[in-house]
């Protein structure tokens, strides 16, 4: 064989061998999935529930009109701080003052009549005592006259005179008793008229008092919808003309937030929270959960479910109140606020990134396990159709350049990481992305690790 033929045969063999190797390499990389990975690590973890709402004072009162009348004087302005007992407003009180004076005069007259009735009762009592004395004396004279007349020592006329005198004395006692009873009745009537006058005076005093308004406690005037010269009326709370002002006790400030119904089960009294206020950026206020609402609130209407006639499938929230510690003096009710409530904490917990957690149907896992490509515990081969559709939570762990699905039991979830209770070991390398890959990755697939920065398209996806 010539040299040229030998060269040609060798070249052909090299080309054929290269093609075979290239085809083999191509086939080996054809089903390889590029993934991003992370390590199972231990760290301190905190579960946080975030909710938005507004700043509110713990104690506030809408001071409403208690009487009909015109405002003749407002002593405060909106935003002004007042002390307990300080005068806030004055309504017109001419008629109420006149009624008060009239009732006072009536009371004085009733008391004078009561004194006169008491004196008449005492006089009647004295007359009765004198009548009893006269009756006793006449009784003695009448007894003596009976003895003398029996012994024929006095004339019949003297006997008759003593008898008549005794009967007159007895009648005088009955008459005095009747006058005393009448005097007592008049005294009782006078006392009742005094009590009636006192009640009328109390009523007039209350009506007059309702024309003046004092601060029930120290606070800030947060709302003042009326002006001097306007006429106010008693009516429904918050109706025009019935609310004079709102007084808030700003010594204790709270943030009232709406927590989603899926998170409310984890919120408990006494849990710590961090509150941020839109009007005071870059500042965090410490707070404590002090109140948790029992009734759900429909998110779209803000109405409690207990006030609705029928059921609703709309999203619902629950009211949670957190009390701020050391609030600033310049806070105002109604400022928008966000509260982050720490519902649970773990120290040195085994954690993985939340995005690494995925689910797979039991049927898909059973198929792979039967082929021997997955190390997760395999359920019985004779599973029912219902169990085939059951979803199992887990992660993909890298073993010999393959993604093996491992079922895990999760605990609390933080902002970016989640606690793993069972299924993994420290240092396990798990698949964390991309989202598209995790959604379609099959157990036992060959993978290639690429932890470089993801492309912009992938981030958007």
Q: According to the 3-state scheme, what is the secondary structure of 158-199?
A: HHHHHHHHHHHHHHHHHHHHHHHHHHHHHHHHHHHHHHHHHH
Least confident segment among 13-22, 167-176, 250-259, 404-413: 13-22
Most confident among 24-28, 153-157, 185-189 (mean pLDDT): 185-189
Q: Which of 300-309, 330-339, 398-407 has the lowest mean pLDDT?
A: 300-309
Average pLDDT taken over every residue of the chain: 83
The CATH superfamily holding the domain 95-209 is: Helix Hairpins (1.10.287.620)
C-beta of residue 448 within 8 angstroms of C-beta of residue 34: yes
The tens digit of pLDDT for each residue in 294-327 reads 888 888 777 777 666 666 677 889 999 999 998 8
Q: How confident is the model at residue 445 (pLDDT cuts 50, 70, 90)?
A: confident
Q: How confident is the model at residue 378 (pLDDT cuts 50, 70, 90)?
A: very low
Class of domain 249-345: mainly beta
pLDDT, tens only, 43-63: 999 999 999 999 998 888 888
In the chain, CATH 2.40.420.20 sits at: 31-45+349-460
pLDDT number for residue 297: 87
From residue 127, give the alpha-carbon distance in Å to each of 119, 130, 197, 235, 319: 12, 5, 31, 60, 79
- pLDDT digits 0-9 by tens, 138-179: 888 888 888 887 877 788 888 788 888 888 888 888 888 888
Considering the chain, tell me which residue range(s) the CATH 1.10.287.620 domain(s) occupy: 95-209
Q: What is the pTM of this model?
A: 0.62
What percent of the chain is helix, strand and coil (3-state, nearest 5)? 35, 35, 25
What is the distance in angstroms between the CA of the first residue and the CA of the last residue of the chain?
63
With 0-12 CB in 10 A as exposed, 13-18 as middle and 19+ as buried, what is 34?
exposed
When comparing pLDDT for 215 and 307, which is higher?
Answer: 215
125-129, 234-238, 369-373: range with highest mean pLDDT: 125-129
Which pLDDT does position 370 carry in this prediction? 42
- At residue 28 the predicted structure's pLDDT band, cuts being 50, 70 and 90, is very low
Quick one: pLDDT at residue 264?
92
Query: What are the structure tokens assigned to 133, written together?
Result: 């004395």
**CATH number at 31-45+349-460:** 2.40.420.20
What average pLDDT does range 336-350 have in this prediction? 92
Q: Are the C-beta atoms of residues 351 and 42 closer than 8 Å to each other?
A: yes
Which residues make beta-bridge pairs with 449?
Answer: 35
Range of lowest pLDDT (118-122, 249-253, 298-302): 298-302
Structure token pair of residue 36: 């991003």
More confident site: 371 or 390? 390
Percent of the chain with pLDDT over 90: 34
Quote the strand ranges of 373-433, DSSP E.
Answer: 391-399, 402-407, 409-413, 417-422, 429-433
Q: Which has the closest alpha carbon to 38: 458, 349, 449, 454?
A: 449
- Of 101, 88, 81, nearest to 212 by C-alpha is 88
Task: Write down the pLDDT at residue 336.
Answer: 93
Confidence of residue 456 (pLDDT cuts 50, 70, 90): very low
């Amino acid at each position: 064989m010539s040299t040229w033929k030998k060269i040609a045969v060798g070249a052909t063999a090299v080309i054929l061998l290269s093609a075979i190797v290239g085809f083999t390499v191509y086939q080996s990389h054809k089903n390889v999935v590029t993934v991003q990975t992370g390590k199972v690590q231990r760290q301190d973890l905190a579960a946080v529930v975030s909710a938005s709402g507004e700043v509110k004072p713990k104690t506030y009162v809408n001071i409403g009109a208690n009487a009909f009348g015109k405002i003749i004087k407002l002593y405060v302005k909106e935003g002004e701080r007042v002390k307990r007992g300080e005068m806030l407003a004055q309504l017109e009180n001419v008629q109420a003052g006149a009624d008060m004076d009239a009732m006072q005069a009536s009371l004085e007259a009733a008391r004078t009549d009561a004194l006169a009735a008491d004196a008449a009762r005492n006089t009647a009592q004295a007359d009765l005592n004198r009548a009893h004395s006269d009756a006793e004396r006449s009784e003695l004279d009448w007894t003596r006259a009976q003895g003398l007349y029996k012994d024929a020592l006095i004339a019949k006329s003297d006997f008759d005179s003593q008898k008549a005198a005794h009967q007159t004395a007895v009648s005088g006692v009955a008459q005095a008793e009747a006058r005393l009873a009448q005097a007592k009745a008049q005294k009782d009537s006078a006392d009742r008229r005094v009590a009636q006058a006192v009640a009328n005076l109390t009523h007039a005093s209350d009506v007059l008092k309702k024309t003046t308004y004092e601060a029930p406690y120290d606070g800030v005037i947060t709302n003042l919808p009326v002006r001097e010269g306007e006429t106010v009326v008693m009516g429904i709370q918050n109706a025009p003309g019935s609310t004079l002002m709102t007084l808030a006790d700003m010594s204790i400030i709270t943030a009232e937030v709406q927590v989603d119904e899926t998170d409310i089960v984890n919120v408990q009294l006494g849990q710590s929270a961090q509150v941020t206020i839109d009007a005071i950026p870059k500042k965090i206020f410490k707070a404590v959960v002090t109140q948790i609402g029992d009734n759900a609130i429909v998110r779209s209407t803000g109405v409690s479910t207990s006030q609705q006639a029928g059921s609703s499938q709309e999203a619902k929230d629950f009211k949670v109140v957190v009390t701020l510690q050391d609030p600033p003096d310049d806070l105002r009710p109604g400022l928008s606020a966000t509260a982050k409530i720490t519902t649970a904490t773990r120290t040195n917990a085994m954690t993985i990134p939340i995005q690494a957690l995925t689910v797979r149907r039991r049927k898909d896992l059973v198929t792979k396990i039967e082929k021997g490509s997955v190390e997760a515990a395999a359920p019985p081969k004779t599973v029912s159709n219902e169990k085939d559709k059951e979803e199992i939570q887990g992660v993909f762990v890298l073993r010999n350049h393959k993604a093996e699905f491992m079922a895990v039991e999760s605990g609390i979830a933080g902002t970016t990481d989640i606690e793993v209770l069972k299924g993994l070991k420290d240092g396990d390398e798990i698949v964390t992305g991309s989202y598209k890959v995790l959604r379609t990755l099959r157990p036992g697939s060959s993978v290639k690790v690429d932890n470089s920065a993801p492309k912009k398209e992938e981030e958007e996806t």
